[in-house]
């Protein structure tokens, strides 16, 4: 995913997107994502890794056979030269320009998107296809072990206990979830008061992200809000430690350089329970409704169902915000990718674990260690 993130930060890409924002008079563009074309990604991984008698299961398996830096370098080099033999026909079927580059810019449109499309915005940028996709409103889910229901009493909230970190200075065990679930102060309860009439206090919030709604005269994009937050984070100190996690704990945090489109992941939400997904996109920015007010976030990643869906069924449910996104290999080792903050139908938006750890260090002024 590192190549896509770096591409999204390039000045020429930012200028191109800036031109789209200037066309958008009705605030129709609610987000922008970047992704490899799935057909090209599978073909590129197949080209390198398929050998006689060895089954091929996709780019997430291919990634495990190379050092992370080599994998990202390999695919970034292929972008300029390699195309599958029937690439032109694939481009025609997908509505790409002939000879398109195998990366897609996705502009995520809201309800007024029809008016924006009447202006006939560009369908490509220097050979990179630009797709305009109508998406539902992206809502932050509110609804003790990792995956349990948690929340506050007033106002009543509902979310998911993500995981636990150890404050290396105070030695407090910190429960990690979303600020829009736990707020900035006060006690944390499990289960949520919306799930039980007799919840128990398990800790108190010590640090949280400041979530500021987008002003009416601001637009959610990299020009209007260039420093949009990348995390929705609350840390709560536990009163009495934490129980063992039956879902296996965390073995390591996955840095962004090791993440790639197609990686298989799972999460355990307080409402959805066990859910399986794959990484779909790097999201440059996204407008997310928190308590029915628009907030702007940037530098997220998107997960979606592993199998192609033809009906926009919900991958996550209200109450799942805060769930940790995990990878699991054949040996049972569990890797932490990030945290679920919001969703719209089959697509769920997540903060990178790397950004969460950086924000923890900033909030506390010293390091934290991942427990589970």
How many CB atoms lie under 10 A from the CB of residue 223?
12
Q: What is residue 172's predicted lDDT score, i.e. its pLDDT? A: 86
Q: What is residue 240's predicted lDDT score, i.e. its pLDDT? A: 76
Q: What is residue 142's predicted lDDT score, i.e. its pLDDT? A: 52
Q: Tokens in use for 233?
A: 């984070």
302 close to 284: Cβ distance less than 8 angstroms: no
66 DSSP assignment:
S
Query: What count of residues does the chain have?
Result: 372
Average pLDDT over residues 319-337: 84
153 close to 201: Cβ distance less than 8 angstroms: no
Q: Is the previous residue joined to 27 through a cis bond, with omega within 30 degrees of 0?
A: no
All structural domains of the chain: 2-134 (no CATH), 139-370 (2.40.10.10)
Angle at Cα 32 formed by Cα 31 and Cα 35, nearest 5°? Answer: 140
Q: Which one, of 233, 257, 261, 265, lies nearest residue 334 by Cα? A: 265
Q: Please list, residue by residue across 109-148, b when 16 or more beta carbons sit within 10 angstroms of its beta carbon and e when fewer do.
A: bbeebeebeeeeeeeebeebbbbbeebbebbbbbbbbbbb
**pLDDT at 54 > cutoff 50:** no
Q: What is residue 179's predicted lDDT score, i.e. its pLDDT? A: 97
- How far, in Å, are 19, 20, 102, 257 from residue 13 at the CA level? 10, 11, 15, 21
129 DSSP assignment:
E
Q: Tokens in use for 137?
A: 């409103």
Q: Give the span between the Cα atoms of 336 and 317, in whole angstroms.
A: 21
Residue-wise pLDDT for 92-138, tens only, equals 999 999 999 999 999 999 988 999 999 999 999 999 999 999 998 88
Residue listed under structure tokens 């609350």: 234
Residue listed under structure tokens 């944390």: 188
Residue-wise pLDDT for 303-323, tens only, equals 999 987 766 689 999 999 999
How many CB atoms lie under 10 A from the CB of residue 12?
10
Q: Which one, of 149, 152, 161, lies nearest residue 183 by Cα? A: 152
Average pLDDT, the chain: 87
Average pLDDT over residues 45-64: 54
Pairing of strands 334-344, 252-253: parallel
Pairing of strands 334-344, 347-352: antiparallel
Q: What is residue 243's predicted lDDT score, i.e. its pLDDT? A: 53
Name the pTM for this structure: 0.81
């Amino acid at each position: 995913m590192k190549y896509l993130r770096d591409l999204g930060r390039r000045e020429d890409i930012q200028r191109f997107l800036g031109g789209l924002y200037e066309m958008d008079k009705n605030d129709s563009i609610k987000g922008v994502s970047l992704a490899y074309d799935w057909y090209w990604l599978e073909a590129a991984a197949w080209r390198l890794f398929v050998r006689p008698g060895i089954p091929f299961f996709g780019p997430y398996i291919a990634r495990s056979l190379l050092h992370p830096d080599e994998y990202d370098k390999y695919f970034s080099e292929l972008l300029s030269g390699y195309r599958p033999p029937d690439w032109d026909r694939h481009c025609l079927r997908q509505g790409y320009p002939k000879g398109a580059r195998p990366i897609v810019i996705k502009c995520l449109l809201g309800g007024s998107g029809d008016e924006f499309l009447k202006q006939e915005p560009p369908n490509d940028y220097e050979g990179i296809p630009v797709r305009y996709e109508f998406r539902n409103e992206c809502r932050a889910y509110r609804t003790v072990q990792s995956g349990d229901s948690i929340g506050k009493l007033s106002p009543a909230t509902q979310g998911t206990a993500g995981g636990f970190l150890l404050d290396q200075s105070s030695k407090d065990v910190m429960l990690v979830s979303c600020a829009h679930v736990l707020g900035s102060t006060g006690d944390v309860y499990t289960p949520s008061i919306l799930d039980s009439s007799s919840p128990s206090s398990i800790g108190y919030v010590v640090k949280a992200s400041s979530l500021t709604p987008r002003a009416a005269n601001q637009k959610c994009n990299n020009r209007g809000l260039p420093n949009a937050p990348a995390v929705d984070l609350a840390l709560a100190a536990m009163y009495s430690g934490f129980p063992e996690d039956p879902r296996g704990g965390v073995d390591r945090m996955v840095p962004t350089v090791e993440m790639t489109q197609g990686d298989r992941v799972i999460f355990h939400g307080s409402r959805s329970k066990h859910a399986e997904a794959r990484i779909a996109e790097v999201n440059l920015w996204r407008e997310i409704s928190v308590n029915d007010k628009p907030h702007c976030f940037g530098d997220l990643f998107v997960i979606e169902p592993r199998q192609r869906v033809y009906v926009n069924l919900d991958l996550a449910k209200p109450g799942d915000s805060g769930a940790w996104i995990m990878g699991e290999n054949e040996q049972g080792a569990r890797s932490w990718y990030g945290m679920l903050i919001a969703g719209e139908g089959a697509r769920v938006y997540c903060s990178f674990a790397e950004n969460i750890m950086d924000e923890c260090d900033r909030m506390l002024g010293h390091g934290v260690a991942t427990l589970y």
